[in-house]
Amino acid sequence: MTLLLAGDIGGTKTILSLVEAQLPAASTQIHIQTRYEQRFSSPEFFDLVPMVRQFLDAAIPSLGTQPLPETACFAIAGPVVNNTSKVTNLGWSLEADRLERELGIRHISLINDFAAVGYGVLGLTPTDLCTLQAGTPRSDAPIAVIGAGTGLGEGFLIPHPEGHQVFSSEGGSC
């Protein structure tokens, strides 16, 4: 099993989760289990590093040991370019390589929060969906994701021979 750190980093709140991921031998489906999760008020911190350190220390009683995530992915409310981001409404400047050094995590990825939603859409089952208007789905059509948050989050998925390509957009940011 692999211990992963996942984060939804927003201008008002941040949710951090430690999850165990396992790919069973005869399966292509990854099994994940949330081991610990905590919500923070983002403006109470000057940077992501002290928040993550506080989170990892707070997880010790629940896990029985100091968690050492092998990798982390943070979904950021705002543009992400070359694994860096200036978080909307916070002024935090995040660079994945700096976070790796300061947190001692081997690999950290920063992605836009609506790119993360796009990847999540791919894992939905028919029972997760609510039809607003009946239609005939096309497997070769793009998929749009739109939602309110710190701004108006937007993203889209384009069919690709190996699945889908996921793209974020900051069309609703001010």
Output the domain CATH number for residue 42: 3.30.420.40
71 and 12 belong to one structural domain: yes
Closest CA to 8 of 103, 147, 114, 124: 114
| Residue that finishes a domain, picked among 97, 113, 129 | 113
The reported pLDDT for the residue numbered 150 is 63
Q: Answer with the residue of higher pLDDT: 162 or 93.
A: 93
131 and 158 belong to one structural domain: yes
Q: How confident is the model at residue 155 (pLDDT cuts 50, 70, 90)?
A: confident
92 and 158 belong to one structural domain: no
Q: How far is CA 100 from CA 57, 94, 95, 96, 116, in A?
A: 17, 11, 9, 6, 20
Q: How confident is the model at residue 109 (pLDDT cuts 50, 70, 90)?
A: very high
| Residue that finishes a domain, picked among 62, 96, 113 | 113
Q: Please determine, for residue 112, whether its predicted confidence score (pLDDT) is greater than 70.
A: yes
65 and 136 belong to one structural domain: no
The reported pLDDT for the residue numbered 75 is 95
92 and 54 belong to one structural domain: yes
pTM here is 0.88
Domain count, the chain: 2
Mean predicted confidence (pLDDT) in 163-169:
86
Q: What is the mean pLDDT of the chain?
A: 90
68 and 7 belong to one structural domain: yes
Distance CA 4, CA 17 (A): 8
Find the domain containing 78 and state its range: 2-113
The reported pLDDT for the residue numbered 63 is 94
The reported pLDDT for the residue numbered 137 is 82
77 and 14 belong to one structural domain: yes
Q: Please determine, for residue 62, whether its predicted confidence score (pLDDT) is greater than 90.
A: yes
Distance CA 47, CA 94 (A): 8
**Rg of the chain over CA atoms, in angstroms?**
17
